[in-house]
Amino acid sequence: MSSIIVLGSLNADLVTTTDIVPKGGETVQANGFQMHKGGKGSNQALALARLGQLPVKMIGCVGDDQFADPLIDNLKQSNVDTSLIKRIQGVSSGVATIIVESSGENRILVAAGSNGHIHAEDIDPAWFTDAVALVVQNEIPKDAVFRAIEIANDKNVPVAYNPSPVWDVPDNILAMVTYLVVNEGELAAITNTQLDENLSFETFTTLATSLHSKGVKSLVVTLGSNGAFYSTPSSAGHVPAQKVSSIVDTTGAGDTFLGAIVTKVCSNSSIKEAIEFATKASAIVVSRPGAASSIPTYDEIK
């Protein structure tokens, strides 16, 4: 059966909430600590499974530690196919140490662990035979990301790419991307541009035109409380953010946003309609604690 493939990371999220972020050499009293399941790849797979109607298949790695089974079981509970998740012996699973400030803003340190053990030679073209889309980000090795994009392109499978954490992306890879989803910092890095604080619609349009000239089909730029900008070779626009009464934790909001866009465009929605749906989904995420646990279902949005 046709499915959406997600290639990426699985992490145990160790979340500490605090009013004050400590400076070097300083110790402060935190407000609380929780453990959640996360990782950009896993979060995106969960968002696709909970918000859409198509089967979702996760490709990635876990270690042989206490986090491995919970990470896999968390995906299974949302009916994500985990048959292509490998267990890597002798290493830890990926771990993200997350500090969440009282404003909801977060700071994240990621230890790759088993996420660093998938490479280009591990990517099997047979995985893409019945795929309707590939979703990928940068929390696994670069060679695996680029190889997956190349194979998807060869098989005419649309690619949704969030290049985070940011690294240099060659023009030949950008040319294979159907949906490039970035925040402002990632946009600046991808276009090698210094952006000021007061960005205009014209600035986004100019940068989008440059990316379209390199082959990117659709660009989506997330702007936090200012919504999102989008551009295709034939149109551009802005979608305002949904109002949120209280921001609890922004972790996972971007991954949910991406997953929501992909599930809608795979159901023949326009890019604008997909972003409108995604803003509703991500607004729910930021009002809840945790990453995976905060991702809503389709019924919560419709």
Q: Does 139 count as an annotated binding residue?
A: yes
> CB neighbours (10 Å) of residue 203?
15
Q: Residue holding tokens 């925040």?
A: 183
Is 227 annotated in a binding site? The answer is: yes
- In contact, 140 and 44? CB cutoff 8 Å: no
Pairing of strands 81-87, 131-137: unpaired
Would you say 101 is a known binding-site residue? no
Q: Is 263 annotated as a binding residue?
A: no
Q: In what order do the strands lie in the sheet with 11-18?
A: 32-38, 11-18, 94-101, 106-111
**Residue 124 known to bind ligand:** no
CA angle 68, 104, 198 (to 5 degrees): 120
Q: Is 42 annotated as a binding residue?
A: yes
* Per-residue tokens: 279: 């803003």
297 labelled as ligand-binding?
A: no
11 is an annotated ligand-binding site residue = yes
247, 155 Cβ separation under 8 angstroms: no
**Per the annotation, does 222 bind a ligand?**
yes
Q: Tell me: is residue 3 an annotated ligand-binding position.
A: no
Token pair, residue 158, equals: 């649309």
**Per the annotation, does 249 bind a ligand?**
yes
d(CA 291, CA 154): 33
The answer to whether 255 is a known catalytic residue is yes
Name the maximum alpha-carbon separation found in the chain: 54
Question: CA-CA distance, 88 to 283, in Å (whole number)?
Answer: 35
Strand 94-101 with 106-111, pairing: antiparallel
Angle at 94 between CA 90 and CA 100, to 5 degrees: 150
Of 64, 124, 255, 299, catalytic: 255
Q: Is 223 known as a binding-site position?
A: yes
Q: Is 116 annotated as a binding residue?
A: no
SS3 43: helix
207 is in an annotated binding site: no
Q: Is 259 annotated as a binding residue?
A: no
Annotated binding site for substrate: which residue ranges?
11-13, 39-43, 139, 255
The binding site for ATP consists of: 183, 222-227, 254-255
Residue numbers in the known binding site for K(+) are 249, 251, 285, 288, 290, 294
Q: Catalytic residue numbers?
A: 255
> Residues comprising the binding site?
11-13, 39-43, 139, 183, 222-227, 249, 251, 254-255, 285, 288, 290, 294
